Amino acid sequence: MDSSTSGRDLAVGVFVLAGLAAIAYLSVQVGGLSYSGPRGFEVVATFDNVGGLSARSPAMISGVKVGQVKTIGLDADLRARVVIDIDPNLELPADTSAAIRTQGLLGDQFIALEPGAEEVLLGPGEEILYTDSALDLESLIGRVVHDAGIDDEN
């Protein structure tokens, strides 16, 4: 083998490895897999409707990610029970509220946390008592159409 062939083979090999690394990186980013260090503490919030919220959806305060949804299930009252993994360095007051919001007009849903003013802090496994469920657009449009129909008859 001469040096031009081995140099070309090396360049092709480096190019292929770089391509595989890029594909792996994009796969992890699209899949939402992330590692942000040690786990934080978990808090629970109960909602009437979670809409399109899913596991690994972000939990944010003022647009800054401070945690993510760990699991979504049903509680004994058949309401949605959401477990949120919060950054271990964050101290949330006991009167913190949680609301399900949408990023943009048709974006993904996330949990918006609004810290309260109490000095008592939420501990691991405790429940966020003040919640605001996801906005159900179909129900809202149905109500508007129904109400408009009633107003037209009068």
pLDDT, tens digit (0-9, with 9 covering 90-100), for 74-123: 999 999 999 999 999 999 999 999 999 988 777 789 999 999 999 999 98
What mean pLDDT, rounded, does the chain reach? 86
> Is the same domain home to 82 and 104?
yes
> Is the same domain home to 119 and 63?
yes
Q: Does 152 map to a domain?
A: no
Q: Does 154 map to a domain?
A: no
Which residue type occupies 8? R
> Is the same domain home to 45 and 92?
yes
| 144 pLDDT higher than 90 | no
| 138 pLDDT higher than 70 | yes
> Is the same domain home to 78 and 109?
yes
> Is the same domain home to 46 and 17?
no
Q: Does 14 map to a domain?
A: yes
Q: Does 153 map to a domain?
A: no
Give CA–CA dist 125/91, Å, rounded.
14
| 33 pLDDT higher than 80 | no
Q: Does 117 map to a domain?
A: yes
Question: Residue 98's closest CA among 110, 80, 107, 87?
Answer: 110
**Number of independent structural domains in the chain:** 2
The reported pLDDT for the residue numbered 1 is 58
> Is the same domain home to 106 and 132?
yes
The reported pLDDT for the residue numbered 146 is 80
The reported pLDDT for the residue numbered 117 is 92
> Is the same domain home to 26 and 92?
no
> Is 111:53 a contact under the CB 8 Å cutoff?
yes
CA separation (Å) from 128 to 46, 79, 82, 122, 123?
8, 14, 10, 8, 10
Q: Does 146 map to a domain?
A: no
The reported pLDDT for the residue numbered 149 is 72
The reported pLDDT for the residue numbered 103 is 86
Q: Any alpha helices (H) in the chain, and if so which ranges?
A: 3-31, 137-153
Average pLDDT over residues 56-81: 94
CA separation (Å) from 136 to 46, 81, 90, 100, 107?
16, 18, 31, 11, 14
Q: Which domain range does residue 5 map to?
A: 1-33
pTM above threshold 0.75: no
